[in-house]
Amino acid sequence: MTMTSTPGRSASIGALALLVLAIALPACGGGAKSSKGYTIKAPVLWAGAGADGKINSGVEDATVTAGDLEDPGFTIDLASVKAKDAGPQWLAASASAAAVATLLSSKDPSRLDLSYTITGQIDGPSGGAMLTVASLAAIRGLKLAEKTTMTGTISPDGSVGRVGEIPAKLRGAAKAGYKTVLLPMTNLTASGESSTSDMVEFGRTLGLDVQGVEDVATAFYAFTGETIYPPATPAPAPTPATTALVTKQATRLLDRIRTESTWSTSASIIVQLGQASAALASGDVAKAYGLGVDTYTLLVRENAIANINSSFADQGP
């Protein structure tokens, strides 16, 4: 990523995300009316060669605002970003971040308006992951952890991809006062102007806590303490009346199988009937009933085959 706003600063769920992106791109800078809601700062690490050929680095304080549209349309407002002469890779990263964040948010995209701003001219794809996390946080109205930043591309499946100039970016983060830096897992070992290829160790020499992330879900949790997907709720316990009814039905079913299977020689029926009886005796009524239904199906099938064979035998050659 390169940036050139001031002297010394120089100039990423699959097919669904691509579909949303295809819909969103024509709407960039969109004109649908919206109620601007929550604005959040996205501290994006950057690094690039200056006019003197030296690598400069720092943190770009981009912002993301998530609002609700009055009229259906899903818009991504990049007007301010374009006005600052952001490069094509940054624009693409912003649009990708909006698409991935929208899908992960489970929010109706037709009612969502996302807008982005930057402080100066910038380009490169390595802000994609940070913009995605910030976009999702803005949609949900969450704050990001202070003194924490990140670099990495964003893919449609939510994975965080490899970027360049890691040592320089870590120096830029430390100089800007950040304490925690999230890197793509593939960047935890990197080459460059550093005392070691181990970026966790190199970060430690700069006073940084460097952590590797593979996807947006991991990064989002590190920034917000929240999971992207809500935890699964335990299944409600059945009422005593329900348990009694199912127990009665399971008992009747197994008794029927015992009565009708006296002629059966199928090992599967015998084994499953025993398993169902054991489950019922232990109080696992659901398992007993499920095994009972499956066993009775096998019994009916075996009986049907026996009747067909008997019919052919009666007809003779």
What secondary structure does DSSP assign to 142-194, as a single string?
-PPPTTEEE--EE-TTSBEEP-S-HHHHHHHHHHTT--EEEEEGGGSB--SSS
* 268: CB partners within 8 A, 6+ apart: 298
Question: What is the pairing mode between strands 148-150 and 180-184?
Answer: parallel
Using one digit for the tens of pLDDT, what is the confidence trace for 129-172? 999 999 999 999 999 999 999 999 999 899 999 999 999 999 99
12 has pLDDT over 90? no
311 has pLDDT over 80? no
| Residue 52 pLDDT | 84
Local structure of 105: helix, strand or coil: helix
30 has pLDDT over 50? no
pTM above 0.75, yes or no: no
Please compute the mean of the pLDDT values over residues 279-308 and round it to a whole number. 89
Using one digit for the tens of pLDDT, what is the confidence trace for 46-57? 988 888 888 889
* 136: CB partners within 8 A, 6+ apart: 101, 104, 105, 216, 220, 228
19 has pLDDT over 50? no
Where are the chain's structural domains?
2-224, 240-315
Q: What are phi and psi of 161, to 5 degrees?
A: -100, 165
Q: Does domain 2-224 have CATH number 3.40.190.10?
A: no
| Residue 315 pLDDT | 64
